[in-house]
Amino acid sequence: MIAIRQPIGVVGVITPWNFPNAMLTRKFGAALAVGCTVVTKPASETPLSALALMELGKRAGLPKGVVSIVTTHKHTKDIGKHLCESHDVAGISFTGSTAVGKHLLKQSADTVKKISLELGGNAPFIVFEDADIDKAVDGAIAAKFRSSGQTCICVNRFYVHSSIKDMFSERLRDRVRKFQVGSGFDKETTHGPLITEGAVQKVHSHVEDAIEHGAKLLVGGDPKENIGHGYFYPPTVLGDMKNNMRIAREETFGPVAGIFEFETEDEVLEAANDTRFGLAGYFFSRDVGRCWRVAEKLQLGMVGVNTGLISSEVAPFGGIKESGIGREGARQGLDEYTQYKLQRLGFLAFSSLIPQMSYSIRFVTTPEDLAKCHDVRMRVFTDEQGYDADVEIDEIDSECLHWIAVDQNDQGAGTARLYKYSPTVGKVGRVAVLLSARGTGLGRLLMESLEKYVIENCEFKTLALSSQVPRQGFYEKMGYAAQGEVYLEEGQPHIRMEKRLSQSN
C-alpha cells in the first residue's frame, strides 16, 4: 500500500489589508510548492501590493496563469461568491473577519471545497502575581500596539492579578504615553493611522462604551488629541474594566488596552475562555508548572508564554472555535493544499510494476556535472529488518532520491526493493522502503524495467544510482546487489549496471 499526496487544484485566495504582502506570500508559497494554481482577490484597500507582487513574479519567470489576481471593490461579494461556488475551484483560503469567513463557508458547502480560514480573535493577556512585571509590560506593548492594534492576534483583554494591577497599569500607561502618533514619513512617529474612518469610529465607540460602564481612562481616548489630519487614534489604556463592556466580547482592532482584574487562576481561565473566539493568547508567570498547566487549558490555537510575539514562518498559525479552520505556515500549512490518495497494489510482476508506479527517479546532477556521477556513493546503515536506514550522500545534496536494491541467491530467488531517500539535516536523511517484491529472476527483470522506465519517462539528462550491501547480517546469505548509473550517449540516456557479489559468495 502506498499513500501519496497530490495538489487539490485551483485555489481561491482572499486576503485582508493589514499585511497585504505577507498574507499573499504565506498562502502562495504553500499552494505553489505543492503544485496548485491560485486565483486571488486582494483587499480593495491595498490592491497595489498584490499587483506589485504579481509583477515581481512575472519578472522572476512565474508561468502565466499560475497566479491570477482579480481586483475590485464594488464587486467584492460577487467575486467571493463565484470562487466559492465554482466547480473549477477546489479550495478556498481566506484571512479576515469571522463574519465574512462564516459566509464563505456557507457558500462553499454545495461544492464541498477544502476550506482554510484564519479569522478574528479576542486575545487574552494574563499577568499572574508571580510574573516579571517589566517583561510583562514589554510583552503587552508588542502584543497590543503592533500596527496600532490592527492585527488578528493583538491583545483585546488584559487580565492582571489584583496584587500587581496598579503597578502594571502605571508602567503600561507611562510607556504608552511616550508613543508618537503620526505620519510614517516622520522619523519621530512610533504609531501610524488606522485603515479607515470607520475603524476610528469603531475604536472610539469601544472606549466610550467602557467609560460609560465605569472604566477609568488612564491615557489617550481622544481621537483629536495632538494629531493632525488622517485616520488616527491615540494609543489608549483603560482600567477597572468589566465583563459587561463591549471590549470584553468584541474585537476592537485598534490601539486600546483594557485592564481587567482577577484573583485566582481558575477565575481568569474561565474569563479568558468565555468567548467564541480562540485564535491567540498570552500570559506571564515564573511558575514552570503553571506555565504548562495554563497553556494547555487556554482554548486557543496559539499561546505566548512569557512573550508577546508568537508569529513565525516555521510555526503553524491558526485558531480554533470561531477563529478559523486549518493552519498556515510550517509543514502543516501544506496540508491545506493537498489531499491523500491510497494506492493498494495487488499481485503484479515487478518488471511491469516499475514503469506504472507513480514515483519517479529524481535527477540529482546537471548535464555539466555528468562526470561527478562516478563519485556519488551512498552509505546505507540498515536495521535488522532492512526497512529503515540513515543515509549520507557525498557531494550531492539531493531533495529526494529513489534507488533500487536487488538481493538474489544462487538459485535465482531473492528480494527487490525500491527505496526513497529524503534529507532531514544537511546531507543526512532517512530511507524508507516504498515497494518490496520477492520471486525468481528479479534481478534481471528489475534492471530491464528500470532502464525502460528511465528512458521512457524521465526528462532529465543525468542521474546517479547506487545501491550496495553495507554490512554482514541481514544480507549475508544474499548473492549480489546491483549498482549502476545513467549516462548520455549520442543524446540518449542509458543505464550501466554492475552486479557485485557479496562476501559470502
Residues 439 and 475 in one domain: yes
Using DSSP, state whether 100 is helix, strand or coil: helix
Q: Is residue 403 part of a domain?
A: yes
pLDDT score at 499: 38
Percent above pLDDT 70 for the chain: 67
pLDDT score at 2: 86
* pLDDT band per the 50, 70, 90 thresholds, residue 280: very high
Residues 381 and 298 in one domain: no
Given a cut of 80, is residue 253 above it in pLDDT? Answer: yes
- For residue 11, the domain's CATH number is 3.40.605.10
Q: Is residue 322 part of a domain?
A: no
Residue among 262, 263, 17, 310 at smallest CA distance from 157: 262
Q: Is 296 tagged catalytic? A: no
Given a cut of 80, is residue 394 above it in pLDDT? Answer: no
Residues 147 and 264 in one domain: yes
93-102: average pLDDT: 97
pLDDT score at 223: 78
Residues 185 and 277 in one domain: yes
Name the residue range of residue 464's domain. 346-501
478-487: average pLDDT: 38
Percent above pLDDT 90 for the chain: 64
Residues 266 and 385 in one domain: no
Long-range CB contacts for residues 85-89, cutoff 8 Å, separation at least 24:
85/110, 85/111, 86/12, 86/111, 87/111, 88/10, 89/9, 89/10, 89/11, 89/12, 89/39, 89/113
Which of 340, 356, 382 finishes a domain?
340
Across the chain, mean pLDDT equals 78
- Distance, in Å, from the CA atom of 242 to the CA atom of 262, rounded to the nearest integer, reads 11
Residues 365 and 267 in one domain: no
Residues 266 and 163 in one domain: yes
* pLDDT band per the 50, 70, 90 thresholds, residue 420: low
Q: Is residue 486 part of a domain?
A: yes
Residues 113 and 130 in one domain: no
Q: Tell me which of 6-15, 120-129, 270-279, 353-362 is least confident.
A: 353-362
* pLDDT band per the 50, 70, 90 thresholds, residue 228: low
Q: Is residue 294 part of a domain?
A: yes
* pLDDT band per the 50, 70, 90 thresholds, residue 122: very high
Residue among 473, 466, 460 at smallest CA distance from 502: 473
Q: Is residue 326 part of a domain?
A: no
pLDDT score at 415: 52
Given a cut of 60, is residue 479 above it in pLDDT? Answer: no
Given a cut of 70, is residue 204 above it in pLDDT? Answer: yes
Kind plus residue range of the DSSP H or E element containing 69:
strand 67-69
Task: Quote the pTM value.
Answer: 0.70
Which of these is catalytic: 85, 118, 170, 384?
Answer: 118
Provide the grid cell at 503.
562476501
Q: Is residue 318 part of a domain?
A: no
* pLDDT band per the 50, 70, 90 thresholds, residue 215: very high
pLDDT score at 225: 63
Given a cut of 80, is residue 116 above it in pLDDT? Answer: yes
* pLDDT band per the 50, 70, 90 thresholds, residue 493: very low
Q: Is residue 320 part of a domain?
A: no
251 versus 390: which is more confidently predicted? 251
Q: Is residue 321 part of a domain?
A: no
Residues 157 and 182 in one domain: yes
Residues 93 and 33 in one domain: yes
Residues 159 and 236 in one domain: yes
pLDDT score at 1: 81
Q: What is the pLDDT of residues 344-387, one digit of tens each?
A: 876 544 434 333 222 223 333 333 333 333 332 333 333 333 33
Kind plus residue range of the DSSP H or E element containing 464:
strand 463-464
Residues 372 and 496 in one domain: yes
- Distance, in Å, from the CA atom of 377 to the CA atom of 395, rounded to the nearest integer, reads 9
- The conformation of residue 45, written as its DSSP 8-state character, comes to T
- For residue 165, the domain's CATH number is 3.40.309.10
116-137: average pLDDT: 98
Q: How many domains does the chain have?
A: 3
pLDDT score at 256: 98
